[in-house]
Amino acid sequence: MSDILEKLALCVEFGKINKISPYPPNMKDQDGADELARKALESGIKPDEILENALIPAMAIVGGKFSRKEIYVPQMLMAAKAMNSAMVHIKPFFQSGETKRKGKFIIGTVSGDLHDIGKNLVAMMIEGGGWEVIDLGVDVGTEKFLKAIDEHPGSVIGLSALLTTTMENMKKTVAAIREKHSDLKILVGGAPVTMDYCQKIGADFYSPDPQGAVNYLKQLAS
């Protein structure tokens, strides 16, 4: 791997956003993900190589560390921010169609539920895994999910719920999606959700953390 991609991967892994970012202290005054992604493109490295050889593997390392509780939410958010600062340079190539994404992923926190920290982490990790993410936000009713599915056919759907009370709305939304789109894959997650509940409501997969969600999508795309 080129030196620049190795450095970019380290910036994402350790959350170094750009040169002026003081975090992490041991990388102070060094180029961050922002500068390195720009320089990589300027040096002729293709956007999909940057994604495949630097950003995706770095986010996979971050996801693994988070699953093993070696890092916590703040470090993961910094890594995601660093990844986003690199993605700013790469996104125009996806939007122009010059570089292909692995697929589309629609995610939202279900109706009545305002918790979005975990949902945002999942969204960022999946974007870092090479997918286009359509984030519908929080308190997302069934109709909004169905409208997004119509606008982005063939997407994988992700539902997050943090309250035992809103898990019931997850069930309703899954049933409504199943009724209209029996072929779509539905992933569920959130603190009170379990594999048992996932099976009970007819969703396809439950993941307790973002990396499990990334792995599931990776398996779907292969």
Is residue 187 within 8 Å of residue 158, measured between CB atoms? yes
Give the span between the Cα atoms of 157 and 144, in whole angstroms.
Answer: 12
Q: How far is the CB of 146 from ligand B1M (least distance, A)?
A: 17
Give the span between the Cα atoms of 127 and 91, in whole angstroms.
Answer: 11
Q: Which residues pair with 160 in a beta bridge?
A: 109, 189
Residue nearest to ligand B1M (CB): 118
Of 32 and 189, which CB lies nearer to ligand B1M in the complex structure?
A: 189
Q: What is the DSSP letter of 106?
A: E
Closest CA to 169 of 159, 155, 181: 159
Of 7 and 104, which CB lies nearer to ligand B1M in the complex structure?
A: 104
Of 32 and 212, which CB lies nearer to ligand B1M in the complex structure?
A: 212
Of 27 and 163, which CB lies nearer to ligand B1M in the complex structure?
A: 163
Of 18 and 215, which CB lies nearer to ligand B1M in the complex structure?
A: 215
Q: How far is the CB of 44 from ligand B1M (least distance, A)?
A: 37
- What is the chain's Cα-based Rg? 18
Give the span between the Cα atoms of 193 and 184, in whole angstroms.
Answer: 20
The identity of residue 220, as a single letter, is L
Q: How far is the CB of 205 from ligand B1M (least distance, A)?
A: 8
Q: How far is the CB of 187 from ligand B1M (least distance, A)?
A: 5
Packing angle of the helix pair 33-42, 3-14 (nearest 10 deg)? 160
Give the span between the Cα atoms of 171 and 1, in whole angstroms.
Answer: 45
Of 99 and 109, which CB lies nearer to ligand B1M in the complex structure?
A: 109
Residues that bind ligand B1M (CB under 6 A): 73, 107, 112-119, 121-122, 158-160, 162-164, 187-192, 207, 209-210, 213
Q: How far is the CB of 199 from ligand B1M (least distance, A)?
A: 15
Give the span between the Cα atoms of 145 and 175, in whole angstroms.
Answer: 12
Q: How far is the CB of 63 from ligand B1M (least distance, A)?
A: 9
